[in-house]
Amino acid sequence: MRRDIFQAIADPTRRAIIALVALHAMTPNAIAEHFDTTRQAVSKHLRILTECELVKQEPKGREIYYQLEIDKMKEIDQWLEQFRKIWETRFNQLDSLLTTIKK
């Protein structure tokens, strides 16, 4: 079963993993060092992120490195853009109202 990217980012641990691998590619062990959980739990999160194509695996020698798949993050950003426009409109309306009240 293919998971939805929004299910993947709903979990705070997976969001933290995304933030870590956004900086540079990391091995599962290096990622696990940042969490107070088992290596197996981190591997499960990495599997979900990989299934959703938010991270990709890159084998280097005997190690597997995980790195952010930026194009998939753009998909999230595009979805959020519709709400960003609504928020900006409301903030502009509030700013106008406050300016009117000050006068």
How confident is the model over 21-64, as pLDDT tens digits? 999 999 999 999 999 999 999 999 999 999 999 999 999 999 99
Using an 8 Å Cβ cutoff, are 11 and 18 in contact?
no
- Tally of domains in the chain: 1
pLDDT tens across 66-95, in order? 999 999 889 889 989 989 989 999 998 998
Structure tokens at 102: 């000050």
Predicted TM-score (pTM) of this structure = 0.79
Per the structure, the complete domain to which residue 54 belongs is given by: 5-102
Q: Which residues pair with 63 in a beta bridge?
A: 60
CATH number at residue 34: 1.10.10.10
